[in-house]
Structure 1
Amino acid sequence: MRTIGRSGIQPFIVCALSFAVPFAVPSANGQTPVTPSADARPKAASEAPTSSSEIEQLRKMILEQQRQIDDLKRTMADQKSNDSTVAAKPDISVPPTTSRGIGQIASTTPILPPLPAVTTLATPLPVPQAAASAATTAANPCEADPDKTIPTFLRLGSICLVPIGFMDFTPFWRDKNAASSMGSNFGGVPYNNSAAGNLSEFHFSQQNSRLGFRIDGNWKGAHFIGYNEFDFNGTSGSTSLAVSNGAIVPRLRLYWADVRKGKVEFLAGQSWSMLVPNRNGISALPGDLFYSQVVDINYIAGLTWTRQPGLRILYHPSKKVTFGFSVEQPDQYIGGSAGGQLITLPSALSGLASTQLDAAANISGASYLGQPGFTPDFIAKLAFDYPRVHFEVAGIESNFKTTSLTAPWVSHTTQGAGLLVGLNVAVTKNVRLISNNFYSDGEGRYLFGQAPDLIVRADGSLSGVHASSTIEGFEARMNKNNLLLYGYYSAIYIGRNAAFDANGTSRIGYGVAANSQNRVINEGTFGFNQTIWSNARYGGINLMGQYEYLERSPWTISAGNPKQTHDNTIYFNIRYTLPGGMPNF
């Protein structure tokens, strides 16, 4: 009979621990040993003491291993029980421990205390599945427990904070060299008989990427929100952005705080103007505003918008009705921004530009508020919200003032006013129709600066320039809301306001300069936004595309020049959006 030597002990232990069959002892050659017969026993009598000693040692080791396995099972069960109750009642009275594996929180994965040292086995034991899962999770310190609901916000004191933003990579092409970077130059499309009109352009851009945060909290029944957002379209002093370093700079977009208690709401800071059309109520949150779904960072021609400092107060008499009143940053604008054309000033009063009137030369922080503001702009809005309909009416009033350049000091004032009517209707569950219409005298600045607010006559008096716009479009969600299709037609009309200079022959004002001061700007655009992948824990990836047709027609055409010009633009965009979401208050 063969005895169980040392070479047979280790496989025996492995099988015993793996299958918990303490008496199923394999032989050295992997076969099950046969019980010796009575005739064979006398021949092994001389080996009995050695075999008995080894078997006794083996039995003790098996019992010790079984005890440790039982302890391990109890520890894991206790840990699982503690995990199920820690969210409801966190234990803050846990005493200090000398174990380096306890109390050092790197993830929410349960960590077991170290066990006493045991005899090393030549063949490793099978790893329990729960322990294997914990090891896999621990290998990724950012991974959350897949079986638990993970908050999509951060706790900071008694507030909730959500990082917001996305990373954009945008290739775009134009059939004319508009020299306007990624955004469209609505009012400055080059003519075909110019060099720029015979050059196309292709670029990549990351400038529309966003970073920011949102803060929510409740204090004594008041819900407050803090909102901050940057993009990378800031003005840089570098001359080598496209040459070598690509060092685009951040630009402040939004920075405001809002508090609501009961039916009253108050907001202060830099936000989207209250003249921006809403999708819902009179909220300043970007998701509740309509500024289209396009990739173009200048949005669409005819949209009424600014982002500027202001104060607003809202009153909510019911869930369906909201009334708002705001005072916002004024600006005495005479053209020159984003393709908008400058007025023609009287020769004796050309010094008003950039000193008392904004000719869009204030591109640095030092000259940001270089022109005077007579009073804030005053905006009132009334919004109605029903299950399928959002309807709103808004009005704006502005005041302008200049004085003569030399003594005796003579001042001149005028007013601007405008009316916005907006409608957003869900004709089906997934299809919405949009109509926003604006009519004004002296409020062209709010049309992305495509029209001036006013002109100056030869005697120094001021007169508002008429400007109006329309946006008509649709937005449709398909494929379980993973695909968004949209299309818009929009237009801007700028009225002629002309006068004669002091010599009685030269024309001044708006609508007199050849080939530049626009009468009509038309845009037709359509596009898509396809969600490629989305996960609440990781964020989402979207593929976007947009086609845009622009056309502009000036008031005056010089001999030999076309009556209008147009531009075609194609955008593609790949976007990664950060995960995050606010809790329900």
Structure 2
Amino acid sequence: MPRKAASVEIGGFEIAPVGYLALTGVSRNTNTGNATTTNFGAIPFSNTVQGQMTETRLSAQNSVLGLRAHGNIRGVDLTGYFEGDFNGNDPANAYVNSNSHTFRMRLAYADVKAGQFETSFGQTYSWLTPNRHGMGPDPSDIFLTNNIDQSFQVGLPWARQAAAHFAWHATPNFTVGAGIENPQQYVGTGEVTYPFAFNAQLASQFDTGSVPGTPNRMPDVVAKAAYDSDVWSGTRLHLEAAGMWRHFRSTDLPQVIGANFVWHDANGWATTVGANLEFFNTFTLVGNAFWSDGGGRYLGALGPDVVPRVTGSAGAYDIALSTVRSHGYLAGFEWRVLQPTILAAYYGQAFFDSNYALDPTNPVPNRYAGFGYPNSSNAANKQIEQWTVDLKHTFWADPQYGAIAGLAQYSYLRREPWFVAAGAPPDAHTHLFFTELRYQLPGN
């Protein structure tokens, strides 16, 4: 890593500030209730009050502050990285007067390189998140689009979470590795209906977006490989593939007299492929695809991982876990029109398959449990898609003092649930427009 002009040296380590200070403006033609991070899966319908209201907000909470420490000791390359922003859990009166936004951890990891081997551990981006180069943890190597919205883009698989990754740089062009990441059994907010007789027992066992203490049996296990090469002069290619194995478990008391608690297990998987092809340092084609059976949490948390379903017969009802299939993709381009100006466009889509069955434990006949069933909540999304155009222009830059840049983002977002009531709109959609004025710290 080149020495940063703005860094200070302490005990052989260079420490440099990273991140940026930003003023963000966002306008939406529906009232999503969000600030600078859009909940793609909860866009309001046009037949609701929120669907008829627009929203505009100015905020500095997108600002990112952090530090990078780097050193080389006897041939071992060490990097410590931390960054946070102000998109944490705000107090209810945050926008009334003081705008005291909550600081939160985004990334906090150590990266150790020794010869052909590299280890990173801490909170980092999941290996299901696409890279721009290689498969290292540095944010400059991660593909998160040029979007201002901190939910990024529909169709992008990603997570920031605790992980330990071990990589082998087999050749200068090819890297392969394996690791473990923090698990979380996820069913979405209002998307999955539990079997009636087991609702109270299951409520604390799956995360609905507000159950951080969800029990998990074991970490998610991930493997990844990446290939980087100069195809010809001025043209670079990045290819990658990743796979993950997941495990889910719940427990309950079956509806049998004298029954004891029993466990129910299910396995899930997720896989991704990604690529980018850069022509002459000016025009890049980007794309990724995601498939899973039980990996909805990694597709922007827009759909569930798993559903509990009823098994057995009257007098001996129990449950079983069944994973939810999902897939998504993103495609686009990034064009450096001029040296300080980047124009980008992306299209992304996420799809979640239905998984439900009749619930014989419900005293009301012909009721279902699961995800995406007839008469289910319109929060159970079948498909979400997003079109985006981005513009970024750097007004001034200096390696010692940082840079000042202006950004703009326009997106059109559409979500289609599995079920809507008769006469209701078949889908919900919104137009998003972001602008941002950013001072980039010199350590990036």
TM-score range, shorter chain: over 0.9
RMSD over equivalenced CA pairs, Å: 1.4
1:560 aligns with 423
Do 2:68 and 2:443's aligned partners in 1 also have CA atoms closer than 8 Å?
no
Q: Which of 247, 260, 275 is the matching residue for 1:399?
A: 247
2:382 aligns with 519
Tell me how far 1:360 sits from its aligned partner.
1.4
* Residues 1:570 and 2:433 are matched in the alignment: yes
1:335 aligns with 188
Do 1:351 and 1:405's aligned partners in 2 also have CA atoms closer than 8 Å?
no
Q: Which of 7, 10, 14 is the matching residue for 1:160?
A: 14
Tell me how far 1:354 sits from its aligned partner.
4.3
Map 1:392-471; keep pairs closer than 5 Å: 392-405=240-253, 407-458=259-310, 459-471=318-330
Do 2:383 and 2:417's aligned partners in 1 also have CA atoms closer than 8 Å?
yes
Which residue identity is paired with 2:265?
A: T
Do 2:94 and 2:101's aligned partners in 1 also have CA atoms closer than 8 Å?
yes
Which residue identity is paired with 2:194?
A: L
Which residue identity is paired with 2:34?
A: S
> Residues 22-48 of structure 1, C-alpha deviation per residue, up to 9 Å, x if partnerless?
xxxxxxxxxxxxxxxxxxxxxxxxxxx
Q: Which of 389, 401, 404 is the matching residue for 1:538?
A: 401
Q: Tell me which structure has the larger Cα radius of gyration.
A: 1
SS at 2:41 equivalent = coil
Q: Which runs of 4+ in 1 moved over 3 A?
A: none
Q: 1:352 to 1:283 in 2, by over 3 A?
A: farther
* Residues 1:491 and 2:349 are matched in the alignment: yes
SS at 1:254 equivalent = strand
Unaligned ranges ≥5, structure 2? 231-235, 311-317
Q: Which has the higher contact order (CA 8 A, sep 6+)?
A: 2
2:74 aligns with 220
Distance 2:55 2:272 in 1: 36
TM, length-normalised to structure 2: 0.92
SS at 2:96 equivalent = helix
Deviates more, 1:466-475 or 1:428-437: 428-437
> Residues 27-84 of structure 1, C-alpha deviation per residue, up to 9 Å, x if partnerless?
xxxxxxxxxxxxxxxxxxxxxxxxxxxxxxxxxxxxxxxxxxxxxxxxxxxxxxxxxx
1:507 aligns with 368
Distance 2:299 2:405 in 1: 29
Map 1:292-441; keep pairs closer than 5 Å: 292-336=145-189, 341-362=190-211, 368=212, 370-387=213-230, 388-405=236-253, 407-441=259-293
1:290 aligns with 143
Which residue identity is paired with 1:310?
A: A
> Residues 236-278 of structure 1, C-alpha deviation per residue, up to 9 Å, x if partnerless?
3x33211111100100000010101001111110101111001
> Residues 106-141 of structure 1, C-alpha deviation per residue, up to 9 Å, x if partnerless?
xxxxxxxxxxxxxxxxxxxxxxxxxxxxxxxxxxxx
1:145 aligns with none
Q: 1:354 to 1:208 in 2, by over 3 A?
A: farther
Tell me how far 1:409 sits from its aligned partner.
0.9
1:551 aligns with 414
SS at 2:103 equivalent = strand
Greater per-residue helix proportion? 1
TM, length-normalised to structure 1: 0.70
> Residues 330-353 of structure 1, C-alpha deviation per residue, up to 9 Å, x if partnerless?
1111112xxxx5201111121244
Tell me how far 1:203 sits from its aligned partner.
0.5
Greater per-residue strand proportion? 2
* Residues 1:477 and 2:336 are matched in the alignment: yes
Unaligned ranges ≥5, structure 1? 1-148, 363-367
Which residue identity is paired with 1:301?
A: V
Tell me how far 1:428 sits from its aligned partner.
4.0
Which residue identity is paired with 2:164?
A: L
